[in-house]
Structure 1
Amino acid sequence: MDRLTWALLSATFTATLWATAQGIYVDTGNPYDNGTLEVNTLTISQHDAPLLTKVYYPNKIDTYAVLFFTGGLLGYIPVESYSIVLKAVASHGFVVVGVDYLPLADERDRTPGQVGSQTKKYLEELQWVTQHLEERIALQLNQSGLVPAFDHLAVGCHSAGCDPIVDMTEKNHTFSKAALFLEPFSYHFKTPVKFRMSAFILGTEFSTQKPMCIYPAEGYNHFYDFWQCPKIVMNVKGHGHCEILDPPTYAECKFAKACKINPDADLKKYRSFIQGISAAFLTTTLQGRDKLQYITNTTLLPVQLLEFKKDLDC
């Protein structure tokens, strides 16, 4: 898979946080508000594409930047568990490709040591959607013209879903312009990266408290320390690891006491924050419109922070 043909993917990336984007839909609104675009959902089965895939894309014909996203627990948390946030991000003018690693009934490659096998599958999936997604969207819409611009692509992940994403970028970083790490965790991120890719990294106060879902030495600050400039990291006060999830999966996490949560948290407001911070970062890095102030001006945030760091001077 290290010989994959990336002819349809851009082999360039910027050394600054934002880049000029030509011909790409650009969102002009407040990223913390819902976007103005209606969003469709496309399901592609694992018997067709290499991996089970949920695509959230705007209903309006245009050319859109792309987010390739994997869920927690090494990709075993279904993408549907993030649908509220992912649809909201798509409404700001992105094609969001959400990927499930394997159905839960399939136990292959479930151990942390199998990250190499997972990376291979994710790379196969990325190649497949690059070649076929535009056609599949046209079939669903019954018209052509909506273009997922894979030369304006970011990778995104939650929790241990970031483990294979980091491995992907270490093997071939040129396909992606940016990385969106939401409460990241990695068993295998042991060496600082040598390339530059704009990164936003999010942590939460309760994710590292018992019952913890993130080991501090392998979590958000570790990602920040091992990533190259340009990069931003923040740790959100009073929130936990499961609060990004849709209500049914959040309820399961709460019932199982899998991670520490804030039972008094305003979940709608928090998911709005995740949407906004993600949309602001992706609009800046992929669409070419500078919305960095929605991230760096912490007085504009709808949450309180325990920590905020940035390194953009590169």
Structure 2
Amino acid sequence: MDRLAWVVLFATLMTNLWATAQGIYVDNGNPYDNGTLEVQTLSISQHDAPLLTKVYYPKKIDTYAVLFFTGGLLGEIPAESYSDVLKAIASHGFVVIGVDYLPLAAVSKNERDSDGIQGQVGDQTKKYLAELQWVTQHLEERIARQLNQTGLVPAFDHLAVSCHSAGCDPIVDMTMQNHTFSKAALFLEPFSYNFKTPVTFKMSALMLGTELSTQKPACIYPAQGYDHFYDFWKCPRIVMNVKGHGHCEILNPATFEACKFAHACKINPDSDLKKYRNFIQGISAAFLTTTLQGRDKLQYITNTTALPVELLEFKKDLDC
């Protein structure tokens, strides 16, 4: 994104800052329970916004922190494939923006080859930044149109980025270019071809990994996955690796079954998928409530003996 576009985006964010001075919604419940807020779904076509977009937001009129999410395969797994988890997060008081990139059929063979990955990520970063600028300017009006009333405010000055798998590659590129738009990063089984320079700025980050994701058929290479993200990130940071679970288990049932049928990633056929997705909801809501809403719920992450799953690894660096 050029300098002028960044100026426009910054000015828009400042406008939202003034608009949200009255404060944002804060979730008081247990993050592992379903949130109390009814969630609406808003679809925005690529004819309107730069990218296909699914927005999950609480129906109750209030001001809400925002989560900007991209799916796996460099954003080519659609946001709808994560809707169970994204809706659950939204029910805790967040406007969740799920952004799709391009279907696989629309990506050339050269782009899928490793030599073309870096250029593809650069192109995607520009699109994601353009998408962020568009939703910052237009989302509040679109929600008002769907609800047929005004007053529900996405607070873009309380924004975090999130991603799954290689969808984290352009998200890292995006934050490395300019990190000031985001307060936190939620990396769900992250993978990056291009994350080769340690960050120099402070942005709270949570990295989630799974035991089976690095086993054949592997969907994560250890040297480019969640531990690498932790090593290259700066305090405050947390990494956790879940025992007995795999890379596709975050996905909705239909997409998970497709992953299972294709043998795309190693899975545990005996996994309790509902319990695992509830775990992801819990750590996500706890982390985002702490970093965006201002209520400390990190004990729901750091008290590992109380987690609904078993961990192989847990590290934190929070004293900074």
- Above 0.5 in TM-score? yes
Counterpart contact for 1:85–1:271, Cα < 8 Å: yes
Percent sequence identity over matched residues?
A: 84
**1:112 aligns to 2:132 (yes or no):** no
| C-alpha separation in 2, matches of 1:245 and 1:26 | 27
Cα RMSD (Å): 1.3
| C-alpha separation in 2, matches of 1:22 and 1:293 | 27
**1:205 aligns to 2:228 (yes or no):** no
Counterpart contact for 1:10–1:175, Cα < 8 Å: no
| C-alpha separation in 1, matches of 2:162 and 2:22 | 22
Offset, 1:104:
3.8
Deviations 1:242-299 (A, max 9, x none): 0000001000000000000000000000000000000000000000000010000012
Offset, 1:230:
0.2
* Matched residue, 2:99: 99
Using CA pairs under 8 Å that are at least 6 residues apart, name the structure with larger relative contact order, 1 or 2.
1
Look up the equivalent residue of 2:223 and give its one-letter code.
A
| C-alpha separation in 1, matches of 2:287 and 2:54 | 22
* 1:172-191 equivalent positions in 2, closer than 5 A: 172-191=178-197
* Matched residue, 2:133: 127
Offset, 1:81:
0.4
Q: 1:156 aligns with which of 156, 159, 162?
A: 162
Offset, 1:132:
0.1
| C-alpha separation in 2, matches of 1:70 and 1:144 | 27
Q: TM-score scaled to structure 2, two decimals? A: 0.93
* Matched residue, 1:16: none
* Matched residue, 2:28: 28
* Matched residue, 2:251: 245
Offset, 1:180:
0.1
Stretches of structure 1 lacking an aligned partner (at least 5 in a row): 12-20
| C-alpha separation in 2, matches of 1:45 and 1:213 | 30
* Matched residue, 2:274: 268
* Matched residue, 2:84: 84
Deviations 1:101-159 (A, max 9, x none): 12344226554221111000000000000000000000000000000000000000000
**1:9 aligns to 2:16 (yes or no):** no
Deviations 1:8-52 (A, max 9, x none): 3369xxxxxxxxx96110000000000000000000001110000
3-state SS of 1:8 partner: helix
| C-alpha separation in 2, matches of 1:308 and 1:134 | 38
| C-alpha separation in 2, matches of 1:80 and 1:30 | 25
* Matched residue, 1:258: 264
Stretches of structure 2 lacking an aligned partner (at least 5 in a row): 16-20
| C-alpha separation in 1, matches of 2:103 and 2:262 | 21
3-state SS of 2:150 partner: coil
Larger helix proportion, structure 1 or 2? 2
| C-alpha separation in 1, matches of 2:2 and 2:166 | 23
| C-alpha separation in 2, matches of 1:9 and 1:182 | 26
* Matched residue, 1:145: 151
Q: Write out the 4+ residue segments of structure 1 that deviate beyond 6 Å after TM superposition.
A: none
| C-alpha separation in 2, matches of 1:33 and 1:8 | 34
